[in-house]
Structure 1
């Protein structure tokens, strides 16, 4: 019996880079098309179809649009090897600023990685998946897909996100939402104010209590809020008011604690004003913090350095993403690929323009190459592969 030799990782990485380069024109055209036709979360009908159709062109690939109960989610798969490597694609836009988070780059870099890895699946002993994950910005599409079992069987999940600068990993907060509606009683503010129960007073006390509570928040906890309903005519005691808050923390446990702080403040406002209150604290759809895997992150860093990029180490917490939920279930990477301007701010029109320009094009091609090369390393490094396939797949964390 002839013993099969181990795959040559360096040769496979080079082959992956050549494949991405061969598809560069189509990948960049698709990135620009997605950027020019922004679609909000769960409405990404065009982008999801374009990506599914492109993945379906890969010889031997199977691609299905509409998975996990989401019409704009898709699953493409190639190979049948025991190691299942999942690449994630995001393609939802933001209101007003379009692709101000650069999801056109994420989507096409993920597609490019799939195009590069699919022909290598047999040599890698891997199954290569591309999962289209809608509504990262507003609905947590990955959470829905996780609950529906679309990610089941994954051994490692990979994606890359554009940012101002290169970083080995995003370090997102866990996050969740709280909403409150205060119910009082309307009355004429001049003739019969004593008959009213002022719902806006309840909200005012709540906001004051939250502002004071910030002094005692734990490190890494944050509270952001917005008034959704504040009453009408100034000569009418408002009978209802409402607000929404977003809370963040460095862990899900800390998120529970800061959520309770906000809930106490809401109840205090209602009590002070004599209102009743309806509180909804998000539980199932909360975004988790990122579980940053040291081995996988280092594999990405080596490849990025070899490609001429100089990614920064894991920085301070910032933002939130449903990729954090994926990372709590499966070893994952979520590096930031820089657009060459440290002064850029995500979620702006300037960022959208940059992500659709030459810097964004470079991020698409480099991102696709780096995702593919990192996946190759995970499949060919015996230690990492063995760990990913074991009953204890998580390694040392950064």
Structure 2
């Protein structure tokens, strides 16, 4: 641990600077040009070879440091997209900085131990998470362990994220004068309203942990014109991929029935990427917990619901750790300006340092103990569904 601390102390000021810079320059998903450039510049400075515009994604990157000795491949995932209006209210400025820090620390030690270290820049977690494309295209197939950490008001290593699908229903009807000849029109907005009503009736017959929530993005242009076009967007979430698929089909049937009842035509699409539920690896989490404890974190013992994460898709491919860590003595809500502001304060910076130490030490344990890695992988095979 002392060797890790020494390496981290040497680079920590650079990490504080990049965390502050990205906080002051928030960018939305797939527009994180300044953040991406800052991360790439820092990693190259510390000996990583970097592929920019990775997989054709403008603000994604893959940074690699390979020792000359055989060993496992450990990937650290960074995020750096902000939220509209409130900036880094989800703390992604810290997530990307932690990825840099863990990657750099491990790269300074891995030559003696063996293995390969990757830092993956994964844009747009809040919308069209790049981890989905990366998982679909096999990027994690030859990665042994994936690590990341997320700022929060509490420290918790056991997380539950829901599988999620983002569905859009676009109904097309026919205009008519709403007073003079309404019988000649087909009301697309009626189809949307009927869809909402049918989904509300469906709620009685799905599990209590399932979530369906939606909005109307288009509903007509004037009250005296029968709406020709109406659009609704929904998130559907469930605890497992398999049950999500079942519920999604029921939701789609609600919309199909509404189209049939009103005479409107319907087009069903996905307006954002679909996220898988997060699969927790207890063996890997146990290693992370050991080092969180050693670094003085007060770890909560119960699982925390996280909405939906594109890291869920990664966890179905390789063992993944996604600890939450406290960045304030206050009880902060996520997606708020208060959380964004907390990410650059001394309490949060101290927590960031301890997280980097903990995840780097986790990586070293896995590199140095092949039997540990074997146990982690065996659990992964048995738990992914």
Give TM-score scaled by structure 2 length.
0.94
Per-residue CA distance 1:139-195 (angstroms, 9 max, x = gap): 120121233343342100000011110001332111111101111111111111111
- Does the C-alpha gap of structure 1 residues 281 and 33 become closer, same or farther in structure 2, counting only changes over 3 Å? closer
Q: Residue 21 of structure 2 is aligned with which of 33, 36, 40? A: 33
Structure 2 counterpart of 1:71, from 58, 64, 77: 58
1:255-334 to structure 2, matched below 5 A, reads 255-281=244-270, 285-334=273-322
Q: Tell whether the 8 Å contact from 1:69 to 1:148 is kept in structure 2 after alignment.
A: no
Q: 2:38 aligns with which of 23, 27, 50?
A: 50
Which of 23, 32, 37 aligns to 2:11? It is 23
Q: Mean alpha-carbon deviation: is it higher for 84-93 or for 357-366?
A: 357-366
2:239 to 250, 272, 293: 250
Aligned to 1:10: none
- 3-state secondary structure, aligned to 2:252: helix
Partners of 2:231 and 2:266 in 1: CA distance = 9
Q: Distance in 2 between matches of 1:360 and 1:290?
A: 25
Runs of 4+ in 1 over 6 A off after TM superposition: none
1:153 alignment partner, one of 142, 163, 186: 142
What does residue 122 of structure 1 align with?
Answer: 111
Distance 2:330 2:345 in 1: 16
1:375 equivalent in alignment to 2:332: no
- Aligned Cα root-mean-square deviation (Å): 1.9
Q: Distance in 2 between matches of 1:220 and 1:107?
A: 31
Is the 8 Å Cα contact of residues 71 and 367 (structure 2) preserved in structure 1? no
Q: CA deviation at 1:83?
A: 0.7
What is the TM-score of this pair, normalised by structure 1? 0.91
1:152 and 1:76 map into 2 onto residues whose CA distance is 17
Residue 336 of structure 1: aligned partner: 324
Q: What are the ranges of 5 or more consecutive residues in structure 2 without an aligned counterpart? A: none
| Equivalent-residue separation in structure 1 for 2:350 and 2:159 (angstroms) | 19
SS of the aligned residue for 2:159 comes to: coil
Query: Structure 1: any 5+ residue segments left out of the alignment?
Result: 1-12
Distance 1:203 1:341 in 2: 45
Distance change (3 Å), C-alpha of 1:293 and 1:395 = farther
